[in-house]
Structures are given as C-alpha cells and as structure tokens.
Chains A and B, each alone.
Chain A
Amino acid sequence: SYELTQPPSVSVSPGQTANITCSGDKLGNIYTSWYQQESGQSPVLVIYQDDKRPSGIPERFSGSNSGNTATLTISGTQTMDEADYFCQVWARNTGGVVFGGGTKLTVL
C-alpha cells in the first residue's frame, strides 16, 4: 500500500514562513491535496492539485510537489493558522485515497 509521511509537529513564529512536508514514493508524479483541521472542527481543503487554492483560502497558503516530497507553505504565518494539516493523494495503483499522518502546526 502507498504511504505518506509527515513530521508530527512544526513550530513557527508569527509572521514567519512555515513549511510542512509530505513524503512518498515518486509523490511528484501524483497530485497532492492539503487539509487544515483546527481543534474540534472539520477539515478544510486549503490546496488541491499540488498548488491550487480553493476560493476563500488566503494567498499566504501555497503548495509545491516534486520528486518524493510535497510541501505546504504558509507565508506570514498567523496565530489563526495553528492547526493540524494533512496531505492526501489518490494512489492509482491501489485504487484508494491515502492521507498522511498529519502535522501539528504551532505558532508561538
């Protein structure tokens, strides 16, 4: 089965740039999506097809994907961005949706 690996936690100071990574075999060949889940809330899509932002998502959220790593970048991180972030792909060879284990972003 296909696996996605995320760091359990990332810390950043307000106003700085946060990079959250997601690793998988030849991940750059697969479209990756990212979800934000604030405490006690439902997940929200923040990036799809590697680097596209849904309407309503701030421009400070961006994504990239190359090689074996996809990256969610939050520029000028705000305290409101503190949440869990999950990457997700469609693993064609197994015919299934795969989520990464999640990364807790702390802004302090």
Chain B
Amino acid sequence: EVQLVQSGAVVKKPGDSLKISCKGSGYTFPFSWIGWVRQMPGKGLEWMGFIYPGDSDSRYSPSFEGQVTFSVDKSISTAYLQWSSLKASDTAMYYCARRLVYGDYGWFDLWGQGTLVTVSS
C-alpha cells in the first residue's frame, strides 16, 4: 500500500527541541518531493516547504525559513521536520505530503495522517 505514516502526537514545553518523522512506503521514496504543511487549530493549510529525498535539496517558505529544518534518511524512506526551540505558537497539526510535479507545477497526491504538536508550559 502506498502511504505516508507520521510519528505520534507530542506535548513539549517552550524552548524544547523536537524532530517529527514521515515514513513513506509502497513507492520509490527518493524520487518524489516531500512537502510539509502546517494547520493551526481551526485554521487553513500553510505550506512550510519541501525536500527532495534523492539529494536532500530543500526549499523553504519564507514564512518558515530559519524556523524549522527539513532532513531525510532515504535508507529508511523517512523525512523529518525539526525545531531547535519550540514556541507556543508552534502548536498545530503538521502534515507531510508527497508532491508530484508536472513541469513547474506540482500538487500533493498523498498525505500522512498528521502529527499534532502541542507546546505548553
């Protein structure tokens, strides 16, 4: 089965570091971009950026540049989203999604189940 499986919900304190994961299966993981999307409680979808597992080439949304880091371990078909110092405003659901590309254009055809991150003192 083609799927993306994300790590479970976490509760952290402000200032903590965190790394969440997204494991792909059922397709050739290195050859499709993996995007990350934030959804704050009751709000819409926000694109954070994406990473190409084949060579770890990363593109960040200006809104998230410097705030998070993408990485990948293609040997285990897993992408990661990392924070070095969480803030309460990072509380949200985070989705990974596979991006398919046609020329310059792309869309997200496969989504993970989401990881809920709660940051609270």
Instruction: Name A's B-contacting residues (CB within 8 A).
Output: 30-31, 33, 35, 37, 42-45, 48-49, 54, 86, 88-90, 92, 95-102
Contacts and interface: CB of A to CB of B under 8 A. Distances in A.
B13 interface: no
Interface residues of B, number: 24
B105 A43 contact: no
B46 interface: yes
Contact of B109 (A45, A86, A95, A96): A45
Nearest to A92: B104
Interface of B: 35, 37, 44-47, 50, 59, 61-62, 95, 97, 100, 102, 104-109, 111-114
Contacts of B47: 96-99
B107 A49 contact: yes
Q: Which 3 A-B pairs have the closest CB atoms?
A: A97-B47, A33-B107, A48-B107
Contacts of B100: 48
15 contacts: A31-B107, A33-B108, A35-B108, A42-B95, A43-B111, A48-B107, A86-B45, A88-B108, A92-B104, A95-B59, A96-B59, A98-B47, A99-B44, A99-B45, A101-B44
Chain B interface SS verdict (over half): strand
A86 B102 CA distance: 20
Chain A interface SS verdict (over half): strand
Contact of A102 (B44, B97, B108): B44
